[in-house]
Amino acid sequence: MNRIDERFKTLKEQNKKAFIAYICGGDPSLDDTEKIVYALEDAGCDVIELGIPFSDPLADGPVIQEASVRSITNGFKLDKFFEVVKDIRKNSQLPLVTMVYYSTIFGYGREKFIENCISSGLDGLIVPDLPYEEYDEISYLIENTGLYLIPLISVTSHNRIPMLVEKARGFIYCVSSLGVTGERKSFDNRIYEYITSVKEKTEVPVCIGFGISKKEDVDKFGRYADGVIVGSAIVRKIFEGKGDLEKVKSFIKEIK
């Protein structure tokens, strides 16, 4: 069983919801990324999403864009990223998902990228700029491997929802609002109807992200979804903490 499945099964048995944390790989360095993963696990995160930095991250707001620039400037390399994931796997069985833009996969080599995802111990893959109609660019490499391709669904997906969830595994990433990632003061007022609509069409856990940054957000969306995803707020805390991971852990515990 995939680690994601195992974690959601355990959470359901305990009547709990998943807390998923996003961090930008290589910010401030890849060695720090490994330490941050352990700190987030210790703070109670259920799944960690490791972002692979990209020079033009179309789905990301300024906080994650700036983190990507710092990571690339500091010498981020994909081969080293996979080595770090392997090192993490020696010490942790926490579910790990990577978010990556398709240009990175294509440039690195599709077969090589997927092989390294599997051999390093990643559990899931999120590709925000790969539409469903083009999943076959990589889906044939993933079938029967245990690596999950996690779909993104937006509040405007409407009639596409049944198609998008049909082959979903692990969890479904529901985008909370139109636009890019980043902390928000308000959300689309259609969001609860939208989450309910997705949950009616699948047995796969439904998680919601983009803009969730406060305990109030976590509490609110946790009543409807199976998990919440917090990204920009954590990335900002890591940057502001300048290596003090206790501050990051305190933030996680506070909003979780």
- For 70, the token pair is 């710092």
Q: What angle do CA 248, 37, 242 make, to 5 degrees?
A: 40
Q: Which of 27, 34, 60, 123 is catalytic?
A: 60
Per the CB < 8 A criterion, the answer to whether 118 and 96 are in contact is no
Residue 41 has pLDDT above 90, yes or no: yes
pLDDT, mean of residues 213-219: 90
> What is the residue-averaged pLDDT of the chain?
92
For residue 87, indicate whether it is catalytic.
Answer: no
Average the pLDDT over 52-56 and give the result. 88
Q: Which residue carries 């360095």 as its tokens?
A: 29
Paired tokens of 107: 């440039």
Least confident of 170-174, 178-182, 197-201, 244-248: 178-182
Write the CATH number for 179: 3.20.20.70
Give the pLDDT score at 90.
Answer: 97
pTM: 0.93
pLDDT in the model for residue 180: 45
- Per residue in 243-253, pLDDT tens? 899 999 999 99
pLDDT of residue 187: 66
Using alpha carbons only, give the angle 41, 254, 178 rounded to the nearest 5 degrees.
85
Of the candidates 5, 46, 49, 226, the residue annotated as catalytic is 49
Query: How many domains does the structure of the chain reveal?
Result: 1
Query: Are 42 and 133 in contact, with CB atoms under 8 Å apart?
Result: no
Q: Residue 182 — pLDDT band, cuts 50, 70, 90?
A: very low
What are the percentages of helix, strand and coil residues in the chain, rounded to 5? 50, 15, 40
Cα dihedral 111/112/115/121 (nearest 10): -140
Q: What is the pLDDT of residue 186?
A: 57
Residue type, 192: Y
Please tell me the distance from the alpha carbon of residue 253 to that of residue 256, in angstroms, as a whole number. 5
Contact 220, 213 (CB under 8 A): no
Tell how strand 18-24 and strand 47-51 pair up.
parallel
Q: Which domain holds residue 87?
A: 3-255
Q: Is 60 a catalytic residue?
A: yes
pLDDT digit string, tens, across residues 106-133: 999 999 999 999 999 999 999 999 999 9
Distance, in Å, from the CA atom of 207 to the CA atom of 124, rounded to the nearest integer, reads: 14
Distances (CA, A) of 83 to 27, 96, 214: 16, 14, 33
At residue 245, the pLDDT reads: 95
